[in-house]
Every structure is written in C-alpha cells, then in structure tokens.
Amino acid sequence: MNRLNILTCFFGVFLSINSVVAVAEEPIKPVTIIPYDRDKAAIGKLLFADVRLSGNDSLSCASCHILDQGGDDNVARSIGINGKPSKRNSPTVFNTGFNFLQLWDGRADSLEQQVKGVITSKAVMGMESWDDTVEKIAGIEQYNQAFQEVYGKPIEAKHIQEVIAEYERSLVLVNSPFDQYLNGDESAISDTAKTGYALFKSYGCISCHQGVNVGGNMFQKIGVLKDINLRDPNDVDLGRHNITGNEWDKRVFKVPSLRLVVQTAPYFHDGSVKTLRDAIDIMTEYQLGRKVPDEHKTAIMEFLATLPGELPTEAK
Ligand code: HEC
Ligand code: HEC
C-alpha cells in the first residue's frame, strides 16, 4: 500500500465513522418495550375489542382505533355512539404509552384516565356510569372468571381501566427501519430518507417532534408564526385552553407523535387535512415560516415512512 492509499483508507474510515449515527446523541430514540402485566393485558385485549363496553353495544375501542390500519379510524372526526362526528380526529393507539399526557389537549394524565373518561362519555361510548359498566361486564361470565383469576376479587372499575391500559402499553411498535438505522445499521434506510432526517432536524421540525415517539412530549401552538383556521373560523378548537383557561394556551395542542403518521391520514386535531404533503406544507408555513422546496418535502416524507415498527411477537 503506498502512502496515498494509506491516507485515503484512513480518510475513508474517518468519513464513515463520522456518518454513522451515534444513538445517544440523536434527538429521536429507538422504541423499546414498555413493561406490562401480561395477564392483565390479555383481559384488556378482549375488552378493547368488545362492543359491550358501549351503551348500545355498537362501539368498541377498536371501532375507532383499528389495529391493522395504523391504530386510528381513517375519518376526519370520529363518529361516536350518537352517530355524530366528535370534535376531534382519532390518534393512533400504537406507542401511546410513551406520550407524556393523553388526548390532543392532554386532559388525561394516564392511559387509565383516558379509559375512565371515554367509556362514560355521552358522545363517545355512552355508558351511563362506571357502576353500570362494572355491573354489565360482571354479568359476562368470561370476564368474571378472568378478573377473579388475576385480581382475586370481584370486578372493580379501576381494574377495568387498568387492564385496558396494560394492553395499550403492549402496543409498541419496535424495530422500525429508522430504529435499526439509529442502532447502527446504515443500510436500513435509503439515502433519501437519511437526507429527509437531516432536513427534519435542520428545518427545526425536531424542536417539536422529538424523543422516542417523534412527538408526544410537549404542548405547542398550532400557528406559531401566523394564525391558521383549519376548519370553521367561527368554531375554533382552543385545545389546551379549554383545560387550563390560560390565555397562552389558546390553540395549543399536544405535539402529535409522527411514528405512524404515514398510516394515519387525515391529519391534525380536527382531521381537516387530507394528505401528508399538505400537512407538511402547513407545518413549514405556519410553524416555521419557511418555504421548503418540493424535493425536500419528498425526502422528509421518505424519512417519515421509515418510522413505523412492528408489534413484538409476544404482544400479537
Ligand atoms: C368513537 C370513536 C372512539 C372510540 C370508541 C374510542 N376512541 Fe380513543 N380516541 C378517539 C378520539 C377522537 C380521540 C381524540 C380525542 C381528544 O383528544 O379529545 C381518541 C384518543 C384516544 C387516546 C389518546 C391518544 C393520544 O395520543 O393522545 C387513547 C389512548 C385512546 N383514544 C384509547 C381508546 C380506548 C382504550 C378506547 C376504548 C375504551 C377508545 N379510545 C375508544 C376516538 C375513539
Ligand atoms: C412549533 C412546534 C412544531 C414544529 C416546529 C413542527 N410541528 Fe408538526 N405539529 C405541531 C403541532 C402542535 C401539531 C398538531 C397541530 C394540530 O393538530 O392542530 C403538529 C402536527 C403535525 C403533523 C400532523 C400529524 C397528525 O397526526 O395529525 C405533521 C405531519 C407534522 N406536524 C409534521 C411536521 C414537520 C414535517 C415539521 C417540520 C417541517 C413540523 N411538523 C414542525 C408542532 C410543530
């Protein structure tokens, strides 16, 4: 080997080391398993898909969180038990155990709390009360037995909430191509997707969509740089403000996870935006105040397409 070869060889190694991502320093982390109780999750899995959890036996959690279609329901605003569209778009249930709070406005501080609210919500699942819910589920022998085996006592409301939440904690999608890349497999994603990730960071998307879930860990205003009316200007959803009453929380929402975004159109809290490209257009204009060339958007979309992982076999 002559000197030049040694030099280029050295330089080559240097370059490739430089281009390998160091997972510890990246603002997005690979999805890891969340510990959960399998016996409880097994009951939760049955309840999740059981329409008897709704007032008129017409809706289950799985009606609006369809697991083989990205964990949402593919409509702009979910249709509740009264047949009317609700105010909001259904987010995916996958990886939701990583979100710092639940729901678009963060009004549920745990998965249990979300279950507690949705089953007795008049507009969603329409059970009269938690006493009624417990009585109804306790009237089904299969559940009576299952709860007795796990908890050693008759069914309680908090245990129904807990088993469904435990099941949701099992719904994490691991080993996505992007996570493989973060873990050192350079060939796991295309060069365009790598460029897309670099652009996602350099344009500043990462300042809001970050962490394990590429979102789900902070609140931000929609329309940081200029006001935006997604739907009806006379019927604006004020988001977090409805919970806190704070002026600065007007139009503030939990930053959604982008892990499953390629499978969960339509977009935004009210489902008003049909395509991912349009959603990205709105983000660049209203959140960042930037003009972004089409090929950059395409690369960002290719990066986003590398984010969904798969259900671990034991959770299937
Ligand atoms: C009629 C459709 C519908 C049904 C039935 C339904 N959901 Fe949802 N789900 C939604 C909508 C819409 C939202 C967003 C509501 C909001 O943020 O105000 C949501 C939000 C959630 C979230 C929060 C996710 C996040 O990222 O913030 C979880 C978790 C969830 N649902 C789980 C469940 C479970 C468990 C059940 C059954 C007990 C259930 N849902 C029943 C439509 C539905
Ligand atoms: C200042 C914070 C912020 C920045 C920067 C930001 N976003 Fe968002 N993003 C949000 C918030 C908040 C929402 C939810 C808004 C709503 O539903 O009203 C959102 C929603 C989205 C959605 C729709 C997700 C869904 O499931 O409905 C996509 C896609 C998205 N952002 C991509 C991007 C991309 C790509 C960039 C960079 C070009 C970016 N965002 C920059 C805060 C931000």
Residue nearest to atom 2 of ligand 2 (CA): 208
pLDDT tens column, 158-169 = 999 999 999 999
pLDDT value at 134 more than 70? yes
pLDDT tens column, 180-200 = 999 999 999 999 999 999 999
Q: What's the average model confidence in pLDDT over 227-255?
A: 93
Give the confidence band of 16 by pLDDT, cuts at 50, 70, 90.
very low
Q: What's the average model confidence in pLDDT over 251-272?
A: 97
How many Å apart are CA 95 and CA 178, to the nearest integer?
15
pLDDT value at 259 more than 70? yes
Give the confidence band of 38 by pLDDT, cuts at 50, 70, 90.
very high
The minimum-distance atom of ligand 2 relative to the CA of 251 is 18
pLDDT number for residue 20: 62
Residue 298 CA to ligand 1 centre (angstroms)? 30
The minimum-distance atom of ligand 2 relative to the CA of 271 is 27
pLDDT number for residue 208: 98
Token duo for residue 58:
């017409």
Question: Ligand 1 pocket, 210 CB below 6 A?
Answer: no
For residue 84, the tally of other CB atoms under 10 A from its CB is: 11
The mean-pLDDT minimum among 2-11, 68-77, 229-238 falls in 2-11
Question: Ligand 2 pocket, 303 CB below 6 A?
Answer: no
Contacts of 257 (CB under 8 A, 6+ apart): 91, 92, 95, 96, 98, 99, 209, 213, 214, 215, 216
Of the ligands numbered here, which is closest to the C-alpha atom of 287? 2
How many Å apart are CA 238 and CA 234, to the nearest integer?
12
C-alpha angle 60-304-299 in degrees, rounded to nearest 5: 150
pLDDT tens column, 108-119 = 999 999 999 999
pLDDT value at 36 more than 90? yes
Tell which residue, 145, 174, 167, 157, has the closest CA to residue 38. Answer: 167
Residue 190 CA to ligand 2 centre (angstroms)? 23
pLDDT tens column, 267-302 = 999 999 999 999 999 999 999 999 999 999 999 999
Q: What's the average model confidence in pLDDT over 211-221?
A: 98
Q: What's the average model confidence in pLDDT over 31-37?
A: 96
The minimum-distance atom of ligand 1 relative to the CA of 165 is 35
The minimum-distance atom of ligand 2 relative to the CA of 284 is 38
pLDDT number for residue 1: 40
Question: Ligand 2 pocket, 253 CB below 6 A?
Answer: yes
Residue 124 CA to ligand 1 centre (angstroms)? 9
Q: How confident is the prediction for the chain on average, in pLDDT?
A: 93
